[in-house]
Structure 1
Protein backbone atom coordinates (compact mmCIF):
# COMPACT_ATOMS: atom_id res chain seq x y z
CA UNK A 1 0.00 0.00 0.00
CA UNK A 2 2.79 2.44 0.89
CA UNK A 3 4.58 1.68 -2.39
CA UNK A 4 1.44 2.46 -4.37
CA UNK A 5 0.99 5.77 -2.55
CA UNK A 6 4.59 6.76 -3.28
CA UNK A 7 4.22 5.82 -6.95
CA UNK A 8 0.95 7.74 -7.28
CA UNK A 9 2.58 10.86 -5.77
CA UNK A 10 5.52 10.62 -8.16
CA UNK A 11 3.22 10.16 -11.17
CA UNK A 12 1.21 13.19 -10.07
CA UNK A 13 4.38 15.30 -9.73
CA UNK A 14 5.53 14.23 -13.19
CA UNK A 15 2.16 15.15 -14.71
CA UNK A 16 2.25 18.58 -13.04
CA UNK A 17 5.78 19.33 -14.28
CA UNK A 18 4.91 18.20 -17.81
CA UNK A 19 1.76 20.35 -17.85
CA UNK A 20 3.66 23.45 -16.63
CA UNK A 21 6.41 22.84 -19.21
CA UNK A 22 3.82 22.68 -22.01
CA UNK A 23 1.88 25.74 -20.82
CA UNK A 24 4.95 27.90 -20.12
CA UNK A 25 6.86 26.76 -23.19
CA UNK A 26 8.78 30.01 -23.60
CA UNK A 27 12.47 30.84 -24.21
CA UNK A 28 13.13 31.84 -20.58
CA UNK A 29 11.59 28.73 -18.97
CA UNK A 30 14.04 26.21 -17.45
CA UNK A 31 12.39 23.59 -15.19
CA UNK A 32 9.95 23.08 -12.30
CA UNK A 33 10.37 21.63 -8.79
CA UNK A 34 7.61 20.55 -6.37
CA UNK A 35 8.31 20.85 -2.62
CA UNK A 36 6.04 19.58 0.16
CA UNK A 37 5.48 21.92 3.13
CA UNK A 38 3.22 21.73 6.23
CA UNK A 39 0.97 24.44 4.74
CA UNK A 40 0.64 22.78 1.31
CA UNK A 41 2.52 22.03 -1.88
CA UNK A 42 5.02 24.57 -3.17
CA UNK A 43 5.68 24.77 -6.94
CA UNK A 44 8.96 26.51 -7.84
CA UNK A 45 9.36 27.60 -11.48
CA UNK A 46 12.95 28.41 -12.54
CA UNK A 47 13.37 30.88 -15.39
CA UNK A 48 15.82 33.45 -16.74
CA UNK A 49 12.95 35.82 -17.69
CA UNK A 50 10.45 35.94 -14.78
CA UNK A 51 8.37 38.69 -16.38
CA UNK A 52 7.26 36.41 -19.23
CA UNK A 53 6.27 33.64 -16.80
CA UNK A 54 4.35 35.84 -14.34
CA UNK A 55 2.42 37.74 -17.02
CA UNK A 56 0.57 41.02 -16.73
CA UNK A 57 -0.43 41.60 -13.07
CA UNK A 58 0.23 37.91 -12.35
CA UNK A 59 -2.42 36.63 -14.76
CA UNK A 60 -0.44 33.51 -15.74
CA UNK A 61 0.16 32.54 -12.10
CA UNK A 62 -3.53 32.96 -11.19
CA UNK A 63 -4.67 30.78 -14.09
CA UNK A 64 -2.08 28.15 -13.23
CA UNK A 65 -3.15 27.95 -9.56
CA UNK A 66 -6.79 27.41 -10.56
CA UNK A 67 -5.81 24.61 -12.97
CA UNK A 68 -3.66 22.91 -10.32
CA UNK A 69 -6.59 22.96 -7.89
CA UNK A 70 -9.25 21.72 -10.31
CA UNK A 71 -7.33 19.35 -12.60
CA UNK A 72 -4.65 17.87 -10.28
CA UNK A 73 -6.48 18.13 -6.94
CA UNK A 74 -3.96 20.29 -5.09
CA UNK A 75 -5.48 21.85 -1.96
CA UNK A 76 -3.27 24.91 -1.48
CA UNK A 77 -0.66 25.22 -4.26
CA UNK A 78 1.84 28.03 -3.75
CA UNK A 79 3.58 29.03 -6.98
CA UNK A 80 6.96 30.74 -6.71
CA UNK A 81 8.99 32.09 -9.66
CA UNK A 82 12.76 32.15 -9.05
CA UNK A 83 15.20 33.80 -11.42
CA UNK A 84 18.31 31.95 -12.64
CA UNK A 85 21.41 34.03 -11.94
CA UNK A 86 23.54 32.63 -14.78
CA UNK A 87 21.45 30.93 -17.50
CA UNK A 88 24.60 29.86 -19.39
CA UNK A 89 25.44 27.48 -16.51
CA UNK A 90 21.94 25.96 -16.40
CA UNK A 91 21.64 22.89 -18.70
CA UNK A 92 17.83 23.06 -18.86
CA UNK A 93 17.82 26.63 -20.20
CA UNK A 94 20.57 25.79 -22.74
CA UNK A 95 18.65 22.74 -24.02
CA UNK A 96 15.41 24.75 -24.24
CA UNK A 97 17.19 27.53 -26.16
CA UNK A 98 18.55 25.04 -28.74
CA UNK A 99 15.11 23.43 -29.11
CA UNK A 100 13.37 26.79 -29.67
CA UNK A 101 15.89 27.76 -32.35
CA UNK A 102 15.35 24.40 -34.10
CA UNK A 103 11.59 24.89 -34.06
CA UNK A 104 11.85 28.44 -35.41
CA UNK A 105 14.67 28.18 -37.99
CA UNK A 106 15.09 24.42 -38.47
CA UNK A 107 18.12 22.19 -37.75
CA UNK A 108 20.11 23.32 -40.80
CA UNK A 109 22.79 25.18 -38.81
CA UNK A 110 22.92 22.79 -35.86
CA UNK A 111 26.75 22.66 -35.83
CA UNK A 112 27.08 26.42 -35.59
CA UNK A 113 24.48 26.51 -32.83
CA UNK A 114 26.12 23.65 -30.90
CA UNK A 115 29.60 25.21 -30.93
CA UNK A 116 28.21 28.66 -30.14
CA UNK A 117 26.30 27.48 -27.06
CA UNK A 118 29.29 25.40 -25.95
CA UNK A 119 31.55 28.45 -26.12
CA UNK A 120 29.05 30.49 -24.09
CA UNK A 121 29.03 27.79 -21.38
CA UNK A 122 32.84 27.76 -21.17
CA UNK A 123 33.01 31.58 -21.14
CA UNK A 124 30.58 31.57 -18.19
CA UNK A 125 33.24 29.72 -16.15
CA UNK A 126 32.31 26.04 -16.49
CA UNK A 127 35.06 23.43 -16.02
CA UNK A 128 33.66 21.25 -18.80
CA UNK A 129 30.55 20.82 -20.92
CA UNK A 130 28.99 18.51 -23.49
CA UNK A 131 26.04 18.97 -25.87
CA UNK A 132 24.51 15.92 -27.59
CA UNK A 133 22.10 16.47 -30.50
CA UNK A 134 20.47 13.35 -31.93
CA UNK A 135 17.54 12.63 -34.22
CA UNK A 136 16.31 12.75 -37.80
CA UNK A 137 17.16 15.68 -40.04
CA UNK A 138 20.53 16.29 -38.37
CA UNK A 139 21.49 16.62 -41.22
CA UNK A 140 20.32 13.57 -43.24
CA UNK A 141 17.04 11.62 -43.25
CA UNK A 142 18.53 8.91 -41.06
CA UNK A 143 18.92 9.60 -37.37
CA UNK A 144 22.41 10.59 -36.26
CA UNK A 145 24.11 11.70 -33.06
CA UNK A 146 26.48 14.67 -32.83
CA UNK A 147 28.57 15.49 -29.76
CA UNK A 148 30.11 18.86 -28.94
CA UNK A 149 32.56 18.73 -26.02
CA UNK A 150 34.90 21.20 -24.39
CA UNK A 151 36.91 21.35 -21.17
CA UNK A 152 37.12 18.60 -18.54
CA UNK A 153 34.00 16.55 -17.83
CA UNK A 154 33.68 13.48 -15.60
CA UNK A 155 31.94 10.50 -17.20
CA UNK A 156 31.85 8.08 -14.25
CA UNK A 157 32.00 8.06 -10.48
CA UNK A 158 30.32 10.07 -7.74
CA UNK A 159 30.92 13.47 -9.36
CA UNK A 160 29.32 12.49 -12.68
CA UNK A 161 26.25 11.04 -10.94
CA UNK A 162 25.61 13.66 -8.26
CA UNK A 163 27.40 16.88 -9.24
CA UNK A 164 27.32 17.14 -13.05
CA UNK A 165 24.23 19.14 -14.05
CA UNK A 166 22.06 17.51 -16.73
CA UNK A 167 19.36 18.93 -18.98
CA UNK A 168 17.15 17.45 -21.69
CA UNK A 169 14.67 18.81 -24.23
CA UNK A 170 12.94 17.59 -27.41
CA UNK A 171 12.19 19.51 -30.59
CA UNK A 172 9.26 18.19 -32.66
CA UNK A 173 10.03 19.00 -36.32
CA UNK A 174 8.52 18.00 -39.66
CA UNK A 175 11.41 15.61 -40.37
CA UNK A 176 11.06 14.01 -36.92
CA UNK A 177 11.87 14.59 -33.27
CA UNK A 178 15.33 15.84 -32.27
CA UNK A 179 16.61 15.35 -28.72
CA UNK A 180 19.09 17.68 -27.03
CA UNK A 181 21.13 16.68 -23.95
CA UNK A 182 23.36 19.10 -22.06
CA UNK A 183 25.94 18.22 -19.37
CA UNK A 184 27.76 20.95 -17.42
CA UNK A 185 30.42 20.74 -14.69
CA UNK A 186 30.12 24.03 -12.79
CA UNK A 187 33.18 25.87 -11.38
CA UNK A 188 32.05 25.64 -7.72
CA UNK A 189 32.64 21.85 -7.66
CA UNK A 190 35.95 20.73 -6.13
CA UNK A 191 37.42 17.72 -7.90
CA UNK A 192 39.19 15.12 -5.70
CA UNK A 193 42.07 14.68 -8.17
CA UNK A 194 42.76 18.42 -8.44
CA UNK A 195 46.05 19.25 -6.66
CA UNK A 196 47.10 22.86 -6.01
CA UNK A 197 50.70 23.95 -5.34
CA UNK A 198 51.32 27.06 -3.23
CA UNK A 199 54.51 29.17 -3.55
CA UNK A 200 56.17 29.86 -0.19
CA UNK A 201 56.55 33.52 0.74
CA UNK A 202 59.74 34.98 2.19
CA UNK A 203 58.29 34.98 5.72
CA UNK A 204 57.44 31.26 5.52
CA UNK A 205 60.99 30.46 4.35
CA UNK A 206 62.53 32.44 7.25
CA UNK A 207 60.35 30.59 9.76
CA UNK A 208 61.43 27.23 8.30
CA UNK A 209 65.17 28.13 8.40
CA UNK A 210 65.25 29.70 11.88
CA UNK A 211 62.62 27.41 13.33
CA UNK A 212 60.75 30.32 14.83
CA UNK A 213 59.65 30.66 18.43
CA UNK A 214 58.05 27.55 19.84
CA UNK A 215 54.64 28.32 21.32
CA UNK A 216 53.91 27.75 25.01
CA UNK A 217 51.58 24.85 24.30
CA UNK A 218 54.36 22.86 22.60
CA UNK A 219 56.76 23.57 25.50
CA UNK A 220 54.19 22.30 28.02
CA UNK A 221 53.69 19.12 25.98
CA UNK A 222 57.46 18.49 25.90
CA UNK A 223 57.66 18.93 29.69
CA UNK A 224 54.82 16.48 30.22
CA UNK A 225 56.43 13.88 27.96
CA UNK A 226 59.80 13.90 29.83
CA UNK A 227 58.70 12.05 33.03
CA UNK A 228 57.20 9.29 30.90
CA UNK A 229 60.69 8.40 29.63
CA UNK A 230 61.99 8.13 33.24
CA UNK A 231 59.29 5.67 34.19
CA UNK A 232 60.30 3.47 31.27
CA UNK A 233 63.91 3.44 32.50
CA UNK A 234 62.82 2.45 36.02
CA UNK A 235 60.86 -0.48 34.67
CA UNK A 236 63.93 -1.66 32.78
CA UNK A 237 66.05 -1.35 35.93
CA UNK A 238 63.56 -3.43 37.90
CA UNK A 239 63.72 -6.15 35.30
CA UNK A 240 67.51 -6.19 35.53
CA UNK A 241 67.29 -6.51 39.32
CA UNK A 242 64.84 -9.38 39.05
CA UNK A 243 67.25 -11.46 36.93
CA UNK A 244 69.85 -12.16 39.68
CA UNK A 245 67.09 -13.02 42.16
CA UNK A 246 65.88 -15.75 39.84
CA UNK A 247 69.43 -17.09 39.55
CA UNK A 248 69.81 -17.18 43.35
CA UNK A 249 66.59 -19.17 43.69
CA UNK A 250 67.88 -21.70 41.17
CA UNK A 251 71.15 -22.09 43.15
CA UNK A 252 69.22 -22.62 46.39
CA UNK A 253 67.11 -25.33 44.77
CA UNK A 254 70.24 -27.08 43.48
CA UNK A 255 71.86 -26.99 46.95
CA UNK A 256 68.71 -28.46 48.52
CA UNK A 257 68.72 -31.27 45.98
CA UNK A 258 72.40 -32.04 46.68
CA UNK A 259 71.73 -32.08 50.46
CA UNK A 260 68.83 -34.48 50.05
CA UNK A 261 70.96 -36.79 47.87
CA UNK A 262 73.67 -36.96 50.56
CA UNK A 263 71.09 -37.83 53.25
CA UNK A 264 69.73 -40.64 51.07
CA UNK A 265 73.25 -42.06 50.57
CA UNK A 266 73.93 -42.05 54.33
CA UNK A 267 70.67 -43.85 55.04
CA UNK A 268 71.45 -46.44 52.38
CA UNK A 269 74.94 -47.06 53.89
CA UNK A 270 73.45 -47.68 57.36
Structure 2
Protein backbone atom coordinates (compact mmCIF):
# COMPACT_ATOMS: atom_id res chain seq x y z
CA UNK A 1 0.00 0.00 0.00
CA UNK A 2 2.80 2.42 0.85
CA UNK A 3 4.50 1.72 -2.49
CA UNK A 4 1.28 2.55 -4.36
CA UNK A 5 1.01 5.82 -2.43
CA UNK A 6 4.56 6.81 -3.41
CA UNK A 7 3.87 5.94 -7.06
CA UNK A 8 0.63 7.95 -7.01
CA UNK A 9 2.39 11.00 -5.52
CA UNK A 10 5.18 10.70 -8.08
CA UNK A 11 2.68 10.63 -10.96
CA UNK A 12 0.97 13.73 -9.55
CA UNK A 13 4.30 15.54 -9.37
CA UNK A 14 5.21 14.65 -12.98
CA UNK A 15 1.81 15.70 -14.33
CA UNK A 16 1.92 18.97 -12.39
CA UNK A 17 5.41 19.69 -13.74
CA UNK A 18 4.26 19.01 -17.32
CA UNK A 19 1.29 21.32 -16.77
CA UNK A 20 3.54 24.15 -15.57
CA UNK A 21 5.96 23.63 -18.48
CA UNK A 22 3.08 24.14 -20.90
CA UNK A 23 1.22 26.94 -19.11
CA UNK A 24 4.21 28.97 -17.87
CA UNK A 25 6.35 28.83 -21.00
CA UNK A 26 6.14 32.59 -21.59
CA UNK A 27 7.15 33.30 -17.98
CA UNK A 28 10.33 31.20 -18.27
CA UNK A 29 9.48 28.21 -16.09
CA UNK A 30 12.49 26.95 -14.13
CA UNK A 31 11.18 24.22 -11.84
CA UNK A 32 9.00 23.73 -8.76
CA UNK A 33 9.07 22.46 -5.18
CA UNK A 34 6.15 20.85 -3.32
CA UNK A 35 5.82 20.85 0.48
CA UNK A 36 3.07 19.47 2.68
CA UNK A 37 1.95 21.86 5.43
CA UNK A 38 -0.88 21.78 8.01
CA UNK A 39 -2.63 24.48 5.95
CA UNK A 40 -2.45 22.49 2.69
CA UNK A 41 0.02 22.02 -0.16
CA UNK A 42 2.58 24.74 -0.76
CA UNK A 43 3.91 24.87 -4.33
CA UNK A 44 6.94 27.08 -4.98
CA UNK A 45 7.30 27.93 -8.66
CA UNK A 46 10.56 29.38 -9.98
CA UNK A 47 10.22 31.56 -13.07
CA UNK A 48 12.23 34.14 -14.99
CA UNK A 49 9.36 36.67 -15.22
CA UNK A 50 7.11 36.54 -12.12
CA UNK A 51 4.91 39.42 -13.28
CA UNK A 52 3.38 37.31 -16.06
CA UNK A 53 2.14 34.70 -13.55
CA UNK A 54 0.86 37.13 -10.93
CA UNK A 55 -1.01 39.32 -13.39
CA UNK A 56 -2.95 42.48 -12.63
CA UNK A 57 -4.14 42.54 -9.00
CA UNK A 58 -3.17 38.87 -8.67
CA UNK A 59 -5.98 37.63 -10.95
CA UNK A 60 -3.72 35.40 -13.03
CA UNK A 61 -2.25 33.53 -10.05
CA UNK A 62 -5.70 33.04 -8.47
CA UNK A 63 -7.00 31.49 -11.67
CA UNK A 64 -3.91 29.29 -11.93
CA UNK A 65 -4.37 28.11 -8.33
CA UNK A 66 -7.99 27.14 -9.02
CA UNK A 67 -7.01 25.16 -12.13
CA UNK A 68 -4.27 23.32 -10.23
CA UNK A 69 -6.73 22.41 -7.46
CA UNK A 70 -9.33 21.05 -9.92
CA UNK A 71 -7.05 19.18 -12.32
CA UNK A 72 -4.49 17.64 -9.97
CA UNK A 73 -6.58 16.94 -6.85
CA UNK A 74 -4.31 18.74 -4.41
CA UNK A 75 -5.40 19.66 -0.90
CA UNK A 76 -5.74 23.46 -0.67
CA UNK A 77 -2.83 24.37 -3.01
CA UNK A 78 -1.00 27.63 -2.36
CA UNK A 79 1.22 28.99 -5.14
CA UNK A 80 4.35 30.91 -4.25
CA UNK A 81 6.18 32.55 -7.17
CA UNK A 82 9.91 33.20 -6.87
CA UNK A 83 12.16 34.83 -9.48
CA UNK A 84 15.26 33.06 -10.78
CA UNK A 85 18.34 35.08 -9.80
CA UNK A 86 20.55 33.93 -12.70
CA UNK A 87 18.37 32.43 -15.48
CA UNK A 88 21.36 31.11 -17.45
CA UNK A 89 22.35 28.91 -14.46
CA UNK A 90 18.93 27.27 -14.02
CA UNK A 91 19.16 23.76 -15.49
CA UNK A 92 15.42 23.32 -16.11
CA UNK A 93 15.10 26.67 -17.85
CA UNK A 94 18.15 26.05 -20.05
CA UNK A 95 16.90 22.55 -20.96
CA UNK A 96 13.56 24.02 -22.08
CA UNK A 97 15.36 26.68 -24.13
CA UNK A 98 17.56 24.08 -25.80
CA UNK A 99 14.52 21.93 -26.63
CA UNK A 100 12.81 24.95 -28.22
CA UNK A 101 15.89 25.69 -30.36
CA UNK A 102 15.90 22.11 -31.66
CA UNK A 103 12.17 22.33 -32.43
CA UNK A 104 12.78 25.53 -34.42
CA UNK A 105 15.20 23.69 -36.70
CA UNK A 106 18.61 24.42 -35.19
CA UNK A 107 21.22 21.71 -35.68
CA UNK A 108 21.57 19.85 -32.39
CA UNK A 109 25.36 20.37 -32.18
CA UNK A 110 25.11 24.08 -32.89
CA UNK A 111 22.30 24.52 -30.35
CA UNK A 112 24.10 22.45 -27.71
CA UNK A 113 27.45 24.23 -28.11
CA UNK A 114 25.78 27.63 -28.04
CA UNK A 115 23.91 26.77 -24.85
CA UNK A 116 27.02 25.25 -23.23
CA UNK A 117 29.09 28.36 -23.95
CA UNK A 118 26.34 30.61 -22.62
CA UNK A 119 26.15 28.66 -19.36
CA UNK A 120 29.93 28.60 -18.83
CA UNK A 121 30.18 32.37 -19.38
CA UNK A 122 27.99 32.95 -16.31
CA UNK A 123 30.54 31.70 -13.78
CA UNK A 124 29.77 28.01 -13.29
CA UNK A 125 32.67 25.57 -12.87
CA UNK A 126 31.13 22.77 -14.95
CA UNK A 127 28.26 21.83 -17.25
CA UNK A 128 27.09 18.76 -19.15
CA UNK A 129 24.45 18.52 -21.90
CA UNK A 130 23.09 15.19 -23.14
CA UNK A 131 20.74 14.87 -26.14
CA UNK A 132 19.30 11.51 -27.13
CA UNK A 133 16.89 10.41 -29.85
CA UNK A 134 16.76 10.57 -33.64
CA UNK A 135 19.25 13.40 -33.89
CA UNK A 136 20.54 12.54 -37.36
CA UNK A 137 19.02 9.79 -39.46
CA UNK A 138 16.45 7.09 -38.65
CA UNK A 139 18.49 5.48 -35.86
CA UNK A 140 18.57 6.83 -32.33
CA UNK A 141 21.83 8.09 -30.89
CA UNK A 142 23.19 10.06 -27.95
CA UNK A 143 25.27 13.23 -28.09
CA UNK A 144 27.13 14.41 -24.98
CA UNK A 145 28.85 17.76 -24.43
CA UNK A 146 30.91 18.38 -21.30
CA UNK A 147 32.99 21.31 -20.13
CA UNK A 148 34.62 21.93 -16.77
CA UNK A 149 34.14 19.91 -13.58
CA UNK A 150 31.02 17.75 -13.13
CA UNK A 151 29.89 15.08 -10.63
CA UNK A 152 27.37 12.36 -11.52
CA UNK A 153 26.70 10.36 -8.36
CA UNK A 154 26.78 10.44 -4.60
CA UNK A 155 25.79 13.04 -2.05
CA UNK A 156 28.25 15.53 -3.55
CA UNK A 157 26.40 15.42 -6.89
CA UNK A 158 23.02 15.99 -5.20
CA UNK A 159 24.31 19.04 -3.34
CA UNK A 160 26.43 20.55 -6.11
CA UNK A 161 24.59 19.82 -9.36
CA UNK A 162 21.33 21.31 -10.63
CA UNK A 163 19.58 19.00 -13.11
CA UNK A 164 17.04 19.82 -15.79
CA UNK A 165 15.13 17.77 -18.35
CA UNK A 166 13.03 18.71 -21.38
CA UNK A 167 11.58 17.11 -24.52
CA UNK A 168 11.87 18.42 -28.07
CA UNK A 169 9.18 17.17 -30.47
CA UNK A 170 10.39 17.15 -34.07
CA UNK A 171 9.23 15.45 -37.28
CA UNK A 172 11.55 12.47 -36.86
CA UNK A 173 10.34 11.78 -33.31
CA UNK A 174 11.11 12.87 -29.76
CA UNK A 175 14.50 14.14 -28.54
CA UNK A 176 15.29 14.13 -24.84
CA UNK A 177 17.48 16.92 -23.44
CA UNK A 178 19.31 16.76 -20.11
CA UNK A 179 21.29 19.66 -18.65
CA UNK A 180 23.53 19.39 -15.59
CA UNK A 181 24.98 22.58 -14.11
CA UNK A 182 27.33 22.87 -11.14
CA UNK A 183 26.06 25.58 -8.82
CA UNK A 184 28.46 28.57 -8.60
CA UNK A 185 28.38 28.61 -4.79
CA UNK A 186 29.11 24.87 -4.51
CA UNK A 187 32.30 23.86 -2.68
CA UNK A 188 34.21 21.01 -4.29
CA UNK A 189 35.46 18.37 -1.82
CA UNK A 190 38.76 17.99 -3.68
CA UNK A 191 39.35 21.72 -4.17
CA UNK A 192 42.35 23.42 -2.58
CA UNK A 193 43.85 26.87 -2.49
CA UNK A 194 47.36 28.18 -1.92
CA UNK A 195 47.68 30.59 1.00
CA UNK A 196 50.61 32.99 0.77
CA UNK A 197 52.66 33.38 3.92
CA UNK A 198 52.36 36.94 5.14
CA UNK A 199 55.51 38.57 6.43
CA UNK A 200 55.14 40.32 9.79
CA UNK A 201 54.76 44.06 9.49
CA UNK A 202 57.51 46.14 11.08
CA UNK A 203 56.20 49.14 12.97
CA UNK A 204 57.78 52.58 12.53
CA UNK A 205 58.53 52.86 16.25
CA UNK A 206 60.56 49.65 16.20
CA UNK A 207 62.50 50.90 13.16
CA UNK A 208 63.27 54.20 14.90
CA UNK A 209 64.48 52.39 18.03
CA UNK A 210 66.76 50.17 15.93
CA UNK A 211 68.19 53.25 14.17
CA UNK A 212 68.83 54.95 17.52
CA UNK A 213 70.60 51.87 18.86
CA UNK A 214 72.83 51.76 15.77
CA UNK A 215 73.67 55.46 16.19
CA UNK A 216 74.57 54.96 19.87
CA UNK A 217 76.81 52.01 18.98
CA UNK A 218 78.56 54.09 16.30
CA UNK A 219 79.12 56.98 18.74
CA UNK A 220 80.62 54.59 21.32
CA UNK A 221 82.97 53.16 18.70
CA UNK A 222 84.05 56.65 17.61
CA UNK A 223 84.75 57.65 21.24
CA UNK A 224 86.86 54.54 21.75
CA UNK A 225 88.83 55.28 18.57
CA UNK A 226 89.51 58.83 19.74
CA UNK A 227 90.71 57.64 23.15
CA UNK A 228 92.98 55.09 21.51
CA UNK A 229 94.44 57.71 19.17
CA UNK A 230 95.05 60.09 22.08
CA UNK A 231 96.83 57.40 24.07
CA UNK A 232 98.93 56.42 21.08
CA UNK A 233 99.75 60.04 20.33
CA UNK A 234 100.98 60.58 23.95
CA UNK A 235 103.43 57.66 23.68
CA UNK A 236 104.95 59.10 20.52
CA UNK A 237 105.55 62.51 22.18
CA UNK A 238 107.45 60.85 25.05
TM band (smaller chain): 0.7 to 0.9
Indicate conservation of the 8 Å contact 2:96/2:166, yes or no. Answer: yes
Alpha carbon RMSD of aligned pairs, Å?
2.3
Tell me the secondary structure at the aligned position of residue 61 of structure 2: helix
- What are the superposed Cα offsets for residues 173-193 of structure 1, whole Å, 9 maximum, x if unpaired? 111111111111122111121
Indicate conservation of the 8 Å contact 1:27/1:97, yes or no. Answer: no
Moved more, 186-195 or 154-163: 154-163
Indicate conservation of the 8 Å contact 2:27/2:52, yes or no. Answer: no
Compute the TM-score of the two structures, normalised by the length of structure 2. 0.76
Other-structure match for 2:124: 126
- What are the superposed Cα offsets for residues 36-89 of structure 1, whole Å, 9 maximum, x if unpaired? 122111111111122233344434322222222323333421111110000111
1:198/1:132 CA distance change after superposition, 3 Å: same
Q: Tell whether 2:186 aligns with 1:186.
A: no
Structure with higher strand content: 2
Indicate conservation of the 8 Å contact 1:42/1:80, yes or no. Answer: yes
Tell me the secondary structure at the aligned position of residue 153 of structure 1: coil
- Residue correspondence of structure 1 range 54-93 to structure 2 within 5 A: 54-93=54-93
Indicate conservation of the 8 Å contact 1:29/1:53, yes or no. Answer: no
| Cα distance in 1 between the residues matched to 2:200 and 2:185 | 31
1:118/1:204 CA distance change after superposition, 3 Å: farther
- Residue correspondence of structure 1 range 114-263 to structure 2 within 5 A: 114-136=112-134, 138-203=135-200
Aligned residues between the structures: 202
Moved more, 124-133 or 139-148: 139-148
1:69/1:185 CA distance change after superposition, 3 Å: closer
Compute the TM-score of the two structures, normalised by the length of structure 1. 0.67
Indicate conservation of the 8 Å contact 1:166/1:183, yes or no. Answer: yes
Q: Which runs of 5+ in 1 are unaligned?
A: 206-270
Other-structure match for 1:112: 110
| Cα distance in 1 between the residues matched to 2:163 and 2:12 | 22
| Cα distance in 1 between the residues matched to 2:4 and 2:145 | 41
Indicate conservation of the 8 Å contact 1:45/1:79, yes or no. Answer: yes
| Cα distance in 1 between the residues matched to 2:108 and 2:55 | 32
Q: Tell whether 2:102 aligns with 1:99.
A: no
1:197/1:148 CA distance change after superposition, 3 Å: same
TM superposition shift of 1:25 = 3.1
Indicate conservation of the 8 Å contact 1:164/1:183, yes or no. Answer: yes
| Cα distance in 1 between the residues matched to 2:154 and 2:39 | 38
- What are the superposed Cα offsets for residues 125-183 of structure 1, whole Å, 9 maximum, x if unpaired? 111111111211x2333222211111111234432244211111001111111111111
Indicate conservation of the 8 Å contact 2:20/2:29, yes or no. Answer: no
